[in-house]
Amino acid sequence: MRMRPTLSWEPPSGQDDLAPASREVAAVVAAVRAGGVVVLSGAGLSTESGIPDYRGAHGSLRRHHVPMTFQEFTADAQARRRYWARSQLGRRVMARARPNTGHRALAALARAGLVTGVITQNVDALQQAAGTQEVIELHGSLSRTVCLDCGDLGDRAELDERLRRANPHFEARAAGHRAARVNPDGDVELPQEAVRAFEVVACKACGSGILKPDVVFFGENVPPARVAACRRRVAQASALLVLGSSLTVMSGLRFVRQAAQAGIPVLIVNQGPTRGDRFADHRIDLPLGRALSDVVAQSGA
């Protein structure tokens, strides 16, 4: 059963009695020094690379961006045309993004053996680019495509070239409409007249299948095998460290609940409240680049 996508969340009045979040990283340093930490990362880890989040102070939802749902993408050819046209421009910004201080600090903790695994809700692959190897991409990656008919996995860069050949004048025509910022799902806002003539291409492997980015859309289920792998990793953790996630969607929140129910310490580093705060042993409200740099320095990684 698919649940209606949760696009926003407000702290309930019952959380007013929680102690204020700390501005110190001592609890994180202690957990990391002990080793065996598993990280659950969210969009807040990539905002310092120029990729906006959905729900932060400058998030795309505050700019009235409505993410496309899986149901809309699969049912409506015009919706797919709109998605691929907008993504064709947005991926330029995503491709230029580089790992930031927080990504590099997390990679240093992983190399030191203090962080033993990362579950990421991000689809930008910046943690891997920074050198972190043990990453489960909970929501997939924008670097790949998947055919909804035959299941073939493809390279997004190759699709980019195919779309350019099929739409040789599109980018020049759309340049005047280009939005100032890319959205977290890799597209930009474009009016209908800018995408009306955009030609979508089919899967090369089977010749006719519908291509989709290999990411979990709103309203789509995370593959069960991937969820199971994440649960195993959390079960083996000495602590679960949440980095830059509001935990609004259940796909991430369930691992916080799992850890708390198993007595595994939960630490959350995020700017602003999260849906998982009542499960946390420690909450730290700091920018991630600064916080993780301090953790690396103080843990000896």
pLDDT in tens, 12-48: 555 556 878 999 999 999 999 999 999 999 999 999 9
Instruction: Report the pLDDT value the prediction gives residue 19, as an integer from 0 to 100.
Output: 79
Instruction: Give Cα 222 to chain centroid, integer Å.
Output: 13
Instruction: Give Cα 170 to chain centroid, integer Å.
Output: 28
Ordered by start, the domain boundaries in the chain are 21-51+99-139+216-301, 62-96+144-215
Instruction: Report the pLDDT value the prediction gives residue 5, as an integer from 0 to 100.
Output: 47
Share of residues in the chain with pLDDT > 90 (%): 71
The secondary structure of the chain in percent helix, strand, coil, rounded to multiples of 5, reads 40, 15, 45
Record the tokens describing residue 272, joined without a space: 């602003």
Q: Say how many C-beta atoms besides its own lie within 10 A of residue 239's C-beta.
A: 22
> Is 21-51+99-139+216-301 in CATH node 3.40.50.1220?
yes
CA–CA separation, 116 and 234 (whole Å): 10
Low-confidence ranges of the chain (pLDDT < 50): 1-7, 9, 55-56, 58-64, 180
Contact, 274 vs 246, CB < 8 A? yes
Q: Which of 236, 1, 32, 22 has the alpha carbon at shortest distance from 119? A: 236
For 202-238, letters b (16+ CB in 10 Å) and e give ebeeeeebebbbbbbbbbbebeeebbeebeebbeebe
Instruction: Give Cα 5 to chain centroid, integer Å.
Output: 15
Instruction: Report the pLDDT value the prediction gives residue 192, as an integer from 0 to 100.
Output: 77
Q: Which of 280, 265, 139 has the alpha carbon at shortest distance from 213? A: 139
* Active-site option among 64, 65, 103, 139: 139
Q: Give catalytic status of residue 177 as yes or no.
A: no
pTM of the model: 0.87
Contact, 240 vs 38, CB < 8 A? yes
Q: Average pLDDT over the chain, rounded to whole? A: 87
CA–CA separation, 58 and 170 (whole Å): 29
CA–CA separation, 255 and 118 (whole Å): 12
